Amino acid sequence: MNPFITSIRATLVLAAITCGAYPLIVTGIAQSVFKTQASGSLLTDRDGKIVGSTLLGQNFTANHYFHPRPSAAGNGYDAASSSGSNLGPTSQKLHDAISERIAAYRTTNSLDPHTPVPADAVTASGSGLDPHISVKNAELQSARVAKARNLTARQVQELISASTTQPDLGILGDPGVNVLTLNLALNNVKRVFQLVPPSTQNP
Amino acid sequence: MHPSDWLQFALFLGLLTLITKPLGLYLIQVLDANGRTWLDPFIKPFERITYKLLGIDPQHEQNWKQYTFAILAFSLVGVVFTYTILRLQHILPLNPQGLPALSPHLAFNTAVSFTTNTNWQSYGGEATMSYFSQMVGLTFHNFASAATGIAIAAALVRGISRTNFQVRSHSTTSDSKPTNLEVRFTATVGNFWVDLTRTTYYLLLPLCAVFAIFLVSQGMIQNFDASTTATTLEGSEQVIAQGPMASQVAIKMLGTNGGGFFNANAAHPFENPTPLSNFVQMLSIFAIGSGLTYYLGRMVKNQAHGWAVWAAMMVLFVSATLVCAHFEAAGNPIHQQLGITAADGNMEGKEVRFGIFNSSLFATITTAASCGAVNSMHDSFTAIGGLVPLFMMELGEVVIGGVGAGLYGMLVFVILAVFIAGLMVGRTPEYLGKKIQAREVKLAMLTLLILTLTILGFTAWASVSAWGLAGLNNAGPHGFSEILYAFSSATANNGSAFAGLTANPASGDPHYNITLGLAMLIGRFLMIIPIMALAGSLAAKQTSPPSSGTFPVNGATFTFLLIGIVLLIGALNFLPALALGPIVEHFLTTQGKLL
Which of B183, B188, B184 is CA-nearest to residue B154? B188
Q: Quick check: B352 and A132 in contact, CB under 8 A?
A: yes
Best residue of A135, A172, A178, A181 to probe chain B, by most B CBs closer than 10 Å: A172
Residue of B nearest to A174 (CA): B353
Instruction: Confirm whether B345 is domain-assigned.
Output: no
Which of B583, B291, B571 is CA-nearest to residue B448? B571
Angstroms from B183 CA to nearest CA on chain A? 26
Q: Which residues of B touch A168 (CB under 8 A)?
A: 274-276, 279
Angstroms from B420 CA to nearest CA on chain A? 39
Cβ partners under 8 Å of residue B113, min gap 6 = B119, B120, B121, B122, B259, B495, B516, B517, B520
| B15 three-class SS | helix
Per residue in B289-306, pLDDT (tens digit) is: 999 999 999 999 999 999
Instruction: Confirm whether B425 is domain-assigned.
Output: yes
Best residue of A90, A92, A93 to probe chain B, by most B CBs closer than 10 Å: A90
Angstroms from B249 CA to nearest CA on chain A? 11
Q: Which residues of B touch A18 (CB under 8 A)?
A: 139-140, 142-144, 200, 205, 251
Look at chain B and report how many structural domains it folds into.
1
Per residue in A125-139, pLDDT (tens digit) is: 999 999 999 999 999
- pLDDT of the residue at A198: 45
Look up residue B419 and give its amino acid: F
Nearest-CB residue to B355 (from A34, A85, A173): A173
Instruction: Confirm whether B46 is domain-assigned.
Output: no
Mean pLDDT for all residues in chain A: 92
Q: Do A19 and B136 touch (CB under 8 A)?
A: yes
Instruction: Confirm whether B541 is domain-assigned.
Output: yes
Question: In Å, how far are A53, A84, A162, B262 from A184, measured between CA atoms?
Answer: 12, 26, 12, 27
- pLDDT of the residue at A202: 45
**B239 compared with A203, residue with greater pLDDT:** B239
Instruction: Confirm whether B236 is domain-assigned.
Output: no
Is residue A53 less than 8 Å (CB to CB) from chain B?
A: yes
Q: Which residues of B touch A11 (CB under 8 A)?
A: 74, 77-78, 81, 140, 144
- pLDDT of the residue at A29: 97
Residue A96: enclosing H or E segment and its boundaries? helix A92-108
Q: Do A174 and B355 touch (CB under 8 A)?
A: yes
Is residue A111 less than 8 Å (CB to CB) from chain B?
A: no
Per residue in B192-201, pLDDT (tens digit) is: 999 999 999 9
Number of C-beta neighbours around residue B561 at 10 A: 22
Domain of B557 in residue numbering reads as: 403-591
- pLDDT of the residue at A200: 43
Angstroms from A164 CA to nearest CA on chain B? 11
Question: In Å, how far are B415, B418, B421, B428 from B425, measured between CA atoms?
Answer: 16, 11, 7, 9
Q: Which residues of B touch A64 (CB under 8 A)?
A: none
Angstroms from B155 CA to nearest CA on chain A? 18
Q: Quick check: B560 and B207 in contact, CB under 8 A?
A: no
Q: Do B585 and A167 touch (CB under 8 A)?
A: no
Instruction: Confirm whether B218 is domain-assigned.
Output: no
- pLDDT of the residue at B163: 76
Residue A108: enclosing H or E segment and its boundaries? helix A92-108
| Buried-exposed string B80-105: b where 16+ CB fall within 10 A, e elsewhere | ebbbebbbebeebeebebebebbbeb
Is residue A8 less than 8 Å (CB to CB) from chain B?
A: yes
Q: How far is CA B241 from the centre of its chain?
A: 27
| B284 three-class SS | helix
Residue of B nearest to A100 (CA): B338
Q: State the number of CA atoms in the 13 A half-sphere of B315 facing the CB.
A: 15
ipTM over 0.85: yes
- pLDDT of the residue at B402: 93
Per residue in B21-42, pLDDT (tens digit) is: 999 999 999 999 999 999 999 9
Residue of A nearest to B53 (CA): A9
Q: Quick check: A155 and A189 in contact, CB under 8 A?
A: yes
Residue of A nearest to B198 (CA): A14
Q: Parallel, antiparallel, or unpaired: how do β-strands B237-240 and B228-231 relate?
A: antiparallel
Angstroms from B590 CA to nearest CA on chain A? 10
- pLDDT of the residue at B588: 96
Name the H helices within B31-138.
40-54, 64-87, 104-115, 125-128, 131-132
DSSP 3-state percent helix, strand, coil across chain A (nearest 5):
50, 10, 40
Q: Which residues of B touch A129 (CB under 8 A)?
A: 264, 268-269
Is residue A167 less than 8 Å (CB to CB) from chain B?
A: yes
DSSP B421: H
DSSP B543: P
Mean pLDDT for all residues in chain B: 93
pLDDT under 70: residue ranges of chain B: 164-186
Q: How confident is the model at residue A196 (pLDDT cuts 50, 70, 90)?
A: very low
